[in-house]
């Protein structure tokens, strides 16, 4: 194992704020985009009253 | 193999084809992301100069790559739509823009959070960062123009023109900014990375970039499907879907 | 044909002189406000002057873009022009030149006076004026594309700034850069040749792109 402990992993050699700040916002952006894209498709589906089995 | 490729250029066919392709790209994206993250955090060694902070590279560089690739691909499809009057390619172009803008924003954001510990400033007027910022403005211009036009065909074509003008301008902007940056040496910070990058770092970056590609394709396909439904809601094949006729 | 369009647009502009003066006064006011914001320290102002004058010129030139086609669009002249056998690119070229004569040239003429406010030396004043003389036609030509694309849209004025300002970046860099380079004792010839190259490229490409945009906007 590369990291000695969980806290070492979180502190990232003292750069934890910057590393996790970057990864956290990246995660937020990706999750947010997935949510919005799916919501748009689902609403459309409902509005149009489609019966098609949706894969997403 | 005699495949009639034009068949796939019809929005109706593409709608079903995309529906079947999305799960594949989603699964591949998740797998690549897991492998990429594992390499980024557990395999790639600590950098001798930048310690652990360099791990931001694994999202920063793929995001920056994607922001540029996606703009080019968007302009390509928009241009095809303009030249050959194919509706589907214009729809794909509009579907690409939000994902491209998202990656541009991420590249800027991670650039700032990497710059702060390394250069001591959240923002430097470096040639690459500045060009990336202007790229974000170009994406925003494209999306706002399309949003302001009610007629979808006019929106497609107007967007295509501005995307193509943008493509001609991006290299000019990049080189102007670079020239401007070298002229003002005082403020510039060298971004040159250490000459030999560990293989694990490079692999991690490439796998993360591939994951971003697969993710983008999945997002673009879903968004294209929504756009198709919005525009074709009054056509026969959508009505068939309403009546529950299964077709695949 | 180009001459006819230019003459016509100039005549129309002369009838509504207030519009022309508004753009000019906007330019003067923006440039004069900066010292109030950053303080009267002459050394700072001298360094900032080229950038301030150039940014103000971009904004002033952009403000008048909306008028380039909208008048002809509302009274139906533009539709007639599209149907006429004359090349649309030539027509657009004429309109862009007229726009430059109405908004660009006054900016170029007033710029040395504004430069004096910032205590620029004589040589810098000359370079600033020349760089504006070469750069403002590019602004009108690029702006024409944006004006054509946003024709008749709600909120077209703000939209045009989003579309056009990022494309102005190279002109801004080399226009303001020429003045800085001459002040620093470096040659400004390279900047001028690049501005000239931008002018050539935009003269060749922009009327064509603008004509295509007009056709799209008029459906």
Nearest to A21 among B63, B113, B229 (CB): B113
Residues of B in contact with C213 (CB under 8 A): 158, 161
Task: Please name the member of C156, C162, C217 whose beta carbon is closest to the beta carbon of B140.
Answer: C162
Domain coverage including residue C59: 2-217
Q: Give B201 or B31, the one with higher predicted confidence.
A: B31
Confidence band of B190 (pLDDT split at 50, 70, 90): very low
Domain for residue A12, yes or no? no
Query: Does C210 touch chain B if contact means CB atoms closer than 8 Å?
Result: no
Q: Residue B196's pLDDT is what?
A: 56
Instruction: Kindly state whether residue A44 falls inside one of the protein's structural domains.
Output: yes
Total domains, chain A: 1
Q: Is residue A31 part of a domain?
A: yes
Copy the structure tokens of residue B212. Answer: 């971003």
CA distance C75 to B33: 58
Q: State the Cα–Cα distance between residues B213 and B69, nearest whole angstrom.
A: 10
Domain assignment of residue A15, yes or no = no
pLDDT of residue C19: 80
Closest partner CB to C169 (pick from B134, B162, B183): B134
Question: Which of A15, A25, A53 has the CB atom closest to B52's CB atom?
Answer: A15
Q: CA B35 to CA B132: how far, in whole Å?
A: 28
Split into its structural domains, chain C has a count of 1
Residue C167 sits at the chain B interface (C-beta within 8 Å): yes
Q: What's the pLDDT band for B189 if we cut at 50, 70, 90? A: very low
Name beta bridge partners: B242.
none
Instruction: Encode burial over A19-49: b for 16+ CB neighbours within 10 A, e otherwise.
Output: bbbbbebbeebbeebbeebeebbeebbeebe
Q: What is the pLDDT of residues C82-115, one digit of tens each?
A: 888 888 888 899 999 999 999 999 999 999 999 9
At residue C1, does pLDDT exceed 60?
Answer: yes
Q: Is the pLDDT of residue B1 over 80?
A: no
**Secondary structure, 3-state, chain B:** CCCCHHHHHCHHHHHHHHHHHHHHHHHHHHHHHHHHHHHHHHHCCCECCCECHHHHHHHHHHHHHHHHHHHHHHHHHHHHHHHHCCHHHHHHHHHHHHHHHHHHHHHHHHHHHHHHHHHCCCCCCCHHHHHHHHHHHHHHHHHHHHHHCCCHHHHHHHHHHHHHHHHHHHHHHHHHHHHHHHHCHHHCCCCCCCCCCCHHHHHHHHHHHHHHHHHHHHHHHHHHHHHHHHHCCCCHHHHHHHCCCCCC
Determine contact: B158 vs chain C, CB below 8 A. Answer: yes
Under DSSP, is residue C120 helix (H, G, I), strand (E, B) or coil? coil
Which of A3, A33, A45 is facing B219, going by the closest CB pair?
Answer: A33
Residues from chain B contacting residue C167 (CB–CB below 8 Å): 165-166, 169
Beta carbons of B148 and C166 less than 8 Å apart = no
In angstroms, the CA C211 to CA C195 distance is 24
B interface mutation test: which of A19, A24, A42 has the most B CBs within 10 A? A19
pLDDT class of A23 with cuts at 50, 70, 90: very high
Judged by CB atoms closer than 8 Å, whether chains meet at A18 and B238 is answered as no
Contacts of C15 (CB under 8 A, 6+ apart): none
pLDDT at B140 over 90: yes
Residue-wise pLDDT tens digits, B63-99 = 999 999 999 999 999 999 999 988 899 999 999 999 9
| B222 part of contact set with chain A, CB < 8 Å | yes
User: Does residue A35 belong to any structural domain of this protein?
Assistant: yes
Whether the per-residue pLDDT at C10 is higher than 80: the answer is yes
Residue A16 lies in a domain: no
Domain of A38 in residue numbering reads as: 22-50
Whether C215 shows a pLDDT value over 60: the answer reads yes
CA distance B162 to C162: 11
ipTM over 0.95 threshold: no
Q: Above 60 in pLDDT, residue B200? A: yes
Q: Average pLDDT of chain C?
A: 90
- Model confidence at B193: pLDDT above 60: no
Q: Is residue A38 part of a domain?
A: yes
**Whole-angstrom distance, CA of residue C80 vs CA of residue C86:** 11
User: B183 to chain A, minimum CA–CA distance in Å?
Assistant: 30
How far off is chain B from C110, nearest CA to CA, in Å? 26
Instruction: Please tell me the distance from the alpha carbon of residue C173 to that of residue B176, in angstroms, as a whole number.
Output: 7
Q: How far apart are the first and last CA of chain C?
A: 24
pLDDT digits (tens, 9 = 90+) for C139-155: 999 999 999 999 988 87
Q: What is the pLDDT of residue A52?
A: 63
For residue A27, being part of any structural domain is answered with yes
Gyration radius (Cα) of chain C, Å: 18
């Amino acid at each position: 194992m590369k990291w000695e402990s969980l806290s070492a992993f979180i502190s990232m050699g003292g750069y934890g704020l910057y590393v996790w700040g970057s990864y956290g916002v990246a995660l937020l952006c990706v999750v947010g985009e997935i949510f919005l894209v799916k919501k748009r498709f689902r609403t459309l589906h409902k509005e149009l009253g489609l019966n098609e089995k949706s894969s997403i | 193999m005699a495949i009639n490729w034009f068949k796939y250029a019809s929005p109706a066919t593409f709608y079903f084809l995309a529906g079947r392709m999305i799960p594949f790209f989603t699964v591949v994206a998740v797998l690549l992301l897991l492998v990429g993250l594992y390499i980024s955090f557990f395999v790639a060694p600590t950098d001798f100069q930048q310690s652990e902070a360099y791990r931001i590279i694994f999202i920063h560089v793929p995001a920056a790559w994607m922001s540029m690739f996606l703009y080019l691909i968007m302009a390509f499809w928009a241009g095809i739509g303009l030249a050959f009057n194919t509706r589907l390619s214009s729809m794909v172009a509009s579907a690409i823009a939000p994902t491209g803008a998202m990656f541009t924003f991420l590249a800027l954001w991670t650039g700032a959070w990497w710059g702060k510990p390394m250069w001591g400033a959240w923002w430097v007027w470096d040639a690459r960062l500045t060009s990336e910022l202007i790229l974000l403005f170009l994406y925003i211009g494209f999306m706002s123009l399309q949003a302001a036009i009610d007629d979808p065909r006019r929106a497609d074509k107007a967007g295509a023109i501005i995307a193509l003008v943008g493509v001609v301008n991006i290299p000019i902007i990049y080189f102007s900014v670079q020239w401007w940056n070298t002229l003002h040496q005082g403020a510039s910070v060298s971004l040159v990375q250490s000459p030999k990058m560990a293989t694990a770092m490079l692999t991690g970056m490439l796998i993360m970039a591939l994951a971003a590609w697969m993710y983008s394709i999945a997002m673009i396909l879903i968004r294209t499907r929504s756009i198709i439904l919005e525009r074709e809601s009054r056509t026969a094949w959508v009505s068939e879907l309403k009546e529950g006729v299964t077709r695949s | 044909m180009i001459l006819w369009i230019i003459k016509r647009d100039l005549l129309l502009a002369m009838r509504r002189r207030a519009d022309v003066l508004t753009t000019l006064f906007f330019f003067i006011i923006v440039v004069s406000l900066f010292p109030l914001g950053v303080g009267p320290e002459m050394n700072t102002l001298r360094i900032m002057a080229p950038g301030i004058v150039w940014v103000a010129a971009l904004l002033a030139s952009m403000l008048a873009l909306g008028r380039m086609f909208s008048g002809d669009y509302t009274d139906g002249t533009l539709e007639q022009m599209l149907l006429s056998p004359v090349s649309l690119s030539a027509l657009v070229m004429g309109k862009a030149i007229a726009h430059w004569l109405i908004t660009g040239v006054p900016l170029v003429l007033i710029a040395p006076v504004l430069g004096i406010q910032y205590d620029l030396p004589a040589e810098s004043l000359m370079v600033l004026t020349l760089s504006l003389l070469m750069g403002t036609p590019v602004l009108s030509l690029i702006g024409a594309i944006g004006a054509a694309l946003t024709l008749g849209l709600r909120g077209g004025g703000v939209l045009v700034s989003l579309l056009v300002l990022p494309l102005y970046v190279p002109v801004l860099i080399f226009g303001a850069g020429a003045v800085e380079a001459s002040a620093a004792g470096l040659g400004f010839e390279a900047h001028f040749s690049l501005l000239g190259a931008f002018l050539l490229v935009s003269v060749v490409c922009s009327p064509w792109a603008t004509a295509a945009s007009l056709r799209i906007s008029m459906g």
